[in-house]
């Protein structure tokens, strides 16, 4: 099973709302990632969790708050977003530093629209 699932598929939220994106994998991977992808651009890394600890934050604004409750789950909490935050948010996972860390498996993404 090489599946990474993400919910919801689509999300529309106002600038004062609080919402969360969810990601789940059951491949036993120990590294999980959040990416942001704008239209016609490649994915851009936001956060990396390794063994359930935040290891990389690519200077992401604090209105995005990641959480890794356990090795299979990854959340992205959203608060007070701006319209320019509208994008496809992708979750990915990989084996982690002991395996082939560079092979990342992506979920289908959440299409976020901020109004």
Partner 1 sequence: TQLLEQSPQFLSIQEGENLTVYCNSSSVFSSLQWYRQEPGEGPVLLVTVVTGGEVKKLKRLTFQFGDARKDSSLHITAAQPGDTGLYLCAESKGAQKLVFGQGTRLTINP
Whole-angstrom Cα distance, residue 81 to residue 17? 8
x/- track of binding to partner 1 for residues 15-34 (CB under 8 A): ----------------x-x-
Structure-token match 């959340």, residue found: 75
Q: Which positions ≥6 away from 61 have C-beta within 8 Å?
A: none
Residues 94-113 within binding reach of partner 1 (CB under 8 A): 94, 97, 100-109, 111
**What's 86's DSSP letter?**
-
Residues 57-96 that bind partner 1 (CB under 8 A): 88, 90, 92, 94
Query: Least Å distance between CB 115 and partner 1?
Result: 19
Closest contact distance (angstroms) between CB of 73 and partner 1 is 17
Question: Closest separation between CB of residue 104 and partner 1, Å?
Answer: 6
Query: The tokens of 52 are what?
Result: 């359930």
Q: How far is CA 92 from the centre of its chain?
A: 7
């Amino acid at each position: 099973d090489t599946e990474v699932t993400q919910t919801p598929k689509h999300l529309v939220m106002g600038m004062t709302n609080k919402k969360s994106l969810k990601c789940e994998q059951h491949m036993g991977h120990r590294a999980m990632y959040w990416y942001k992808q704008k239209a016609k651009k490649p994915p851009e890394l936001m956060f990396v969790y390794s063994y359930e600890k935040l290891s990389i934050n690519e200077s992401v604004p604090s209105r995005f708050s990641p959480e890794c409750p356990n090795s299979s789950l990854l959340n992205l909490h959203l608060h007070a977003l701006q319209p320019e935050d509208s994008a496809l948010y992708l979750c990915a996972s990989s084996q982690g530093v002991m395996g082939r860390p560079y092979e990342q498996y992506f979920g289908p993404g959440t299409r976020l629209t901020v109004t």
